[in-house]
Structure 1
């Protein structure tokens, strides 16, 4: 991923925080004729260093059949993004786009049954933590748990990470105006404004 130096993030704490907060990613590999990609949760495994991701795909998904153990894959993570109007600048300039994104390369390996179950336990517990009536893997019936046979679990041992936070760095006196305009738009634009306040103004 092309990243100008002023947008590159190298702080391990910030990188981990970003990957944990935006863990619905894209698994990319070379297919037999064209690249192949699947959208799926890609969670950091706690306590692993170097970083390691885990995920799973449906057995019906042909992508896993084209990835060998030990093969390098690419995982892409997208944070909030938004159009930035140059009308918010003091001086004439072209419009642009602010965004947060990560490209993670690593070595793919299929999980065994115990590793897959541990990954699913962590995944469900993480996203059920704020549910009014949380469910857990432990509470599912044997009939329901048989659905696990329909998925392939895997890990990705991270070998390289490229993270870009393009958040109007260098706009100086324009920052507060840009943040205010993005905040008023709501949605992803407001999320970009919050990121700008956190990473540029705090």
Structure 2
């Protein structure tokens, strides 16, 4: 994706944390020359050699998997918080804009065998059940229920390139106090998350 230099985040540790916390992504490949996208959890993991990978699964009813070609590049998109920024909050006249965080990952996809897929599914369920009052485990589900797993395809993606855009009003630092003040007034979860990211970014620069 196009990212102006001052919006690029090349802090790999921070970007990985973002992916872990915003793992409901979009998997994109091509079907008969047409882009095809599926919204699914794409979890950051490591392969047997300790390299970062993404793992996920889709339904066999989804034709996308039939075009999973070994060593063919796919694109994964992870969207974070975003919010409109009014230029009425600036000290000087300017056009309004949009602040956001997004990460694009390019990688090579391969289909998992059943054992690897089950390992990934256990990790996925355990991660999101952690905060449940009565967490479930795949270990406790009946064989009849687990038969549904026959209807999905698991895969992993070898990460080749990470592009991270953190557009947080860089270059308008003098306007940050007013932008933050106005975003805090709004009943907007995305805006509040952008405020936190702006404050965090400012603290890092002053250290």
TM-score band, normalised by shorter chain: over 0.9
Retained in 2: the 8 A contact 1:29–1:73?
yes
Partner of 1:18: 18
Partner of 1:29: 29
Q: Distance in 1 between matches of 2:92 and 2:9?
A: 28
Aligned counterparts, 1:85-124, within 5 A = 85-124=86-125
Cα offset, 1:46, TM superposition: 4.6
Q: Distance in 2 between matches of 1:187 and 1:14?
A: 21
Aligned counterparts, 1:133-148, within 5 A = 133-148=134-149
Q: Which runs of 5+ in 2 are unaligned?
A: none
Cα offset, 1:200, TM superposition: 2.2
- Does 2:133 correspond to 1:132? yes
Aligned counterparts, 1:50-199, within 5 A = 50-185=51-186, 186-199=188-201
TM-score (norm 2): 0.94
Moved over 3 A (4+): 46-50
Cα offset, 1:189, TM superposition: 1.1
Partner of 2:44: 44
Retained in 2: the 8 A contact 1:80–1:189?
yes
Q: Distance in 2 between matches of 1:99 and 1:111?
A: 33
Cα offset, 1:26, TM superposition: 0.3
Q: Distance in 1 between matches of 2:134 and 2:170?
A: 43
Retained in 2: the 8 A contact 1:184–1:190?
no
Cα offset, 1:51, TM superposition: 1.7
CA RMSD of aligned residues (A): 1.2
Provide the secondary structure at the position in 1 that maps to 2:181.
helix
Q: Distance in 2 between matches of 1:113 and 1:184?
A: 50
Q: Distance in 2 between matches of 1:49 and 1:175?
A: 40
Q: Distance in 1 between matches of 2:91 and 2:85?
A: 14
CA-to-partner distance for each residue in 1:99-131, whole Å, 9 max, x for gaps? 000110000000001110000000000000000
TM-score (norm 1): 0.97
Q: Which stretch has the larger CA shift, 34-43 or 183-192?
A: 183-192
CA-to-partner distance for each residue in 1:122-143, whole Å, 9 max, x for gaps? 0000000000000011010111
